[in-house]
Amino acid sequence: MNEIRIHEVGLRDGLQIEKQVVPLEKKIAWIEGLLAAGIDMIQLGSFVNPERVPQMADSDKLFAHFSQDVKKPSAVVLSGLVLNEKGLERGMACGVEMFCMGVSASDTHSRKNTGRGTDEAMGQIIAMAQAALKAQKRVQASIQSAFGCGFEGPIAPERVLSIVEKYLEAGIRNISLADTAGHAYPPQVEDLYGEILKRDGQAELACHFHNTYGLGLANCYAAMRAGVKYFESALGGLGGCPFTKVAAGNVCSEDLVHSLQRQGLATGIDLEKLLAAARDLAAFFGRELPGFILKAGSIVNFKKGQ
Amino acid sequence: MNEIRIHEVGLRDGLQIEKQVVPLEKKIAWIEGLLAAGIDMIQLGSFVNPERVPQMADSDKLFAHFSQDVKKPSAVVLSGLVLNEKGLERGMACGVEMFCMGVSASDTHSRKNTGRGTDEAMGQIIAMAQAALKAQKRVQASIQSAFGCGFEGPIAPERVLSIVEKYLEAGIRNISLADTAGHAYPPQVEDLYGEILKRDGQAELACHFHNTYGLGLANCYAAMRAGVKYFESALGGLGGCPFTKVAAGNVCSEDLVHSLQRQGLATGIDLEKLLAAARDLAAFFGRELPGFILKAGSIVNFKKGQ
């Protein structure tokens, strides 16, 4: 039994900001690499307007490939991000197993992203989540900007807790806190997850950190200390915008797995195979990715004299 | 009263591997920048064979400048690394206030570095420490490779604890654990410092991490949780070897200070001035340094609408 579960989100949160559109075949090859490495929860993409985000235009085909044409292992969960009812409908049609959806704890961020404030967005998201649950699908509801907002700055924990309570009341058990701008710091992370688990010790909590200020893995450690078992991360640390100087990539999957395995935690993941997939990703984009293990090499199986 | 004290070691552990020798005037300017930022413990250099490490050849002049010619604030402690009696003698002559010295917990590392095993090196270091204490100097004794070794791999905590006990018995109160190869991981850090503080709750413990595997700040958080109050770090995250792909820099001072200030901890440091010093360092070397805040900017004083 694995103690920690990695939810690989690089194909969505990593690729969505990349200008260089990745061909379907390449995405399939990366997903095969992730499956070979033993990653058992993978976000294949999002269901958004293909004209607005061309990188995500083939999400339906990608799900169809792995859920209909090629059978992936049954223990593997394929997730997709949906923003509205239309996305939910598309996801239902092509084989999404876990629907990810959410609201922002920052009213400003929510309005900029969706045209509506948090409270208004909430009603829609809860209705969508309940529809997906009714259809026997897994659902993960997220709270974006849960630890701070690039527009508003600090976000009161009470605001996040009240959204969590609404999710729990609506029957949503799997809740992810997303540090969209990378503002989180470790004791804040530990406190906030601790507060949630005080309210419901059985909630399935996930975390999603960005490494903007170098604290990604520190925040993961803090979340783990608080009892979080689901970690969202991206191969290679993808997600940083290559067109600015702000290094805002996701927590890097192979760095996180390396850190977990160094701690002796069971992840069910073959790190060398994961690194091979990350190297293929770096080769495709032709630039150095933020991941540390890609550069330094793994010391999980370090033996004297190496 | 500051809750955490930063010991800036970039001028020694950062510069010693840089091939481009930094002129004395430049070092003086950086130290002035660090003093202006409120850093109150600075390692100016080491006392080693100038032919072997030309970068450290002007350590005596640097100390003489700040301890004799220019009076630095009395609350500021200037430290120097010494490897042997000759170094100690040089340091005594030029105004070193805190002598840093140590042994490696790895016998192989100790033999490669000093030609002698840990036990043999220990006798000499303790004698030097006691001589410095007798001369009313501050002393910090370190244990290198305390969390793992680039030659031996894992290091048993018992080995580190037995060295700590010998230091404490010898009357050395200030003890630093150095993660020379960057092998440390957070729960290991928390456990090891916890064990030391169980043996002597009043020991003044310092930590020295490298960011080889991306865990530098995570390990700092773990050390802080265990009760460590002295943190050794390097401006810009200097210390990574620019001639290999292994990113083995020290924990970056301004990233660490940013993280501490985000937590609301008092450091007595002006982060913007520290960043100015780091930018000057980056400009001198003409390359991007590992620090995250240098790229992303500080959000310590983040206000809505920025």
pLDDT of residue A196: 98
Encode pLDDT of A152-176 as tens digits: 999 999 999 999 999 999 999 999 9
| Chain B residue with minimum CA distance to A245 | B295
Q: From A218, A217, A155, select the one nearest A181 (Cα to Cα).
A: A155
pLDDT of residue B71: 79
Q: From A215, A217, A163, A153, select the one nearest A184 (Cα to Cα).
A: A215
pLDDT of residue A8: 98
pLDDT of residue A72: 86
pLDDT of residue A306 exceeding 60: no
| Main-chain dihedrals φ then ψ at residue B92, nearest 5 degrees | -60, -35
Helical H runs in A39-136? Answer: 59-64, 85-94, 107-114, 118-134
- Say if residues B47 and B86 touch (Cβ distance below 8 Å): yes
* Residue-averaged pLDDT of chain B: 94
Q: Which fold has domain B1-92+234-306?
A: TIM Barrel (3.20.20)
| Main-chain dihedrals φ then ψ at residue B161, nearest 5 degrees | -65, -35
Q: Does B257 contact chain A (CB < 8 Å)?
A: no
pLDDT of residue B68: 85
Q: Name the CA radius of gyration of chain B, rounded.
A: 18
Q: Does A180 contact chain B (CB < 8 Å)?
A: no
Contact B148 A299 (CB under 8 A): yes
pLDDT of residue B232: 98
The rounded percent of chain A whose pLDDT value lies above 70 is: 96
At residue A247 the predicted structure's pLDDT band, cuts being 50, 70 and 90, is: low
Looking at 2.40.160.20, 3.30.565.10, 2.60.40.1930, 3.20.20.70, the CATH number of the domain A5-296 comes to 3.20.20.70
Rounded to whole angstroms, how far apart are CA atoms A197 and B269?
36
| Cβ-based neighbours of B305, under 8 Å, separated by 6 or more | A151
Average pLDDT over residues A239-250: 66
Alpha carbon separation from A299 to A6, A295, B33, B178 (Å, rounded): 20, 12, 37, 18
Taking domain B97-227, whether its CATH number is 3.40.1390.10 is answered by no
Q: Which residues pair with A42 in a beta bridge?
A: A8, A78
Q: Does B121 contact chain A (CB < 8 Å)?
A: no
In this prediction, the residues of chain B whose per-residue pLDDT falls under 70 are 240-247, 304-306
Q: Quickly count: other Cβ atoms within 10 Å of residue A45's Cβ.
A: 26
What's the pTM? 0.96
Encode pLDDT of B207-218 as tens digits: 999 999 999 999
The ranges assigned to domains in chain A are 5-296
| Main-chain dihedrals φ then ψ at residue A67, nearest 5 degrees | -105, -20
What are the chain A neighbours of B248 within 8 Å (beta carbons)?
Answer: 296
The helix (run of H) or strand (run of E) holding residue B248 is none
Rounded to whole angstroms, how far apart are CA atoms B285 and B287?
6
pLDDT of residue B162: 98
At residue A301 the predicted structure's pLDDT band, cuts being 50, 70 and 90, is: confident
Rounded to whole angstroms, how far apart are CA atoms B46 and A267?
43
Q: Do B97-227 and B1-92+234-306 have the same topology in CATH?
A: yes
